Each structure stands twice: as structure tokens, then as C-alpha cells.
Amino acid sequence: MADEATDVVVCSVRELDASGACGFAIGTGDWPLRGLVLRDATGIVQAYVDRCPHAGHPLALKDHDFLTPDRAFIKCSSHGALFERDTGICVAGPCPGRTLRRLQVRVDGEDVRIAPPV
Ligand code: FES
């Protein structure tokens, strides 16, 4: 569960519904925490670190371009890995069975909030 005292607003629920997934960066300098959030049809929000377990690349080559065209899977644009939305498990591509790293997330009204790992 995200901690209200330390978590950070990364996007709004309205943005998620419009785009399907939103990317974010928390922190500054050369190595901010980069991640993505997405919401399913039942309203459950998931968040993952934006780093592919295959070769460590960011998943999207364009801003917020994390999903397949039908929005059924999270994709990696580098070599085509596909990940389940609700588990982050790779189901196709070069790293089957490996997973995206999950982040703690909560929804507070319209705000989607992430607890940065310590
Ligand atoms: S870095 Fe993601 S599939 Fe290769």
C-alpha cells in the first residue's frame, strides 16, 4: 500500500482512461525512477518500473506508448516482448516468464499516486 506521506501524484484517472497507460518519472538527475501506470476495465490500477527484463531497455520509444494497439498487453518496443497487464509477466517475445517490477500505487480521488521504493 502506498504511503500518503511519501507518495507522489503521477497522473490522473482521466488521463489513464484517455491514453490507456501513462509514463512518469520521479526524481531528478541522470537516474530518476521511470515507470508506467495503467487501469483495467474494472478500475484496478497497476504500476510497473519502465524497464524491460529482457535487456533493461525502457519499454516505450514514444511517450506513453506502452500498450499494444488493442490495449490487451504491455509491450516492449525494443524487441517485441508482451506482458500481461495485471501481473507484468512476459507471455511472448524474448523473455517469457520474466516479470516487470511492480510499484506500489493507489488512487486518491482523481489522483494516481506512486510510493517510490526506498
Ligand atoms: S529490451 Fe524489451 S524485448 Fe528486448
Cβ of 77 less than 6 Å from ligand 1: no
Q: Which of 79, 90, 91, 98 best tests ligand 1's pocket when mutated (most atoms within 8 Å of CB)?
A: 79
Amino acid at the residue 113: R
Amino acid at the residue 9: V
Q: Where are the domains of the chain?
A: 8-115
Question: Rounded to two decimals, what is the model's pTM?
Answer: 0.92
Nearest residue (CA) to ligand 1, atom 3: 79
What's the CATH number for 8-115?
A: 2.102.10.10
Nearest residue (CA) to ligand 1, atom 1: 55
Q: Per residue in 59-88, pLDDT tens?
A: 999 999 999 999 999 999 999 999 999 999
Which strand ranges, in their side-by-side order, compose the sheet holding 104-108? 8-12, 111-115, 104-108
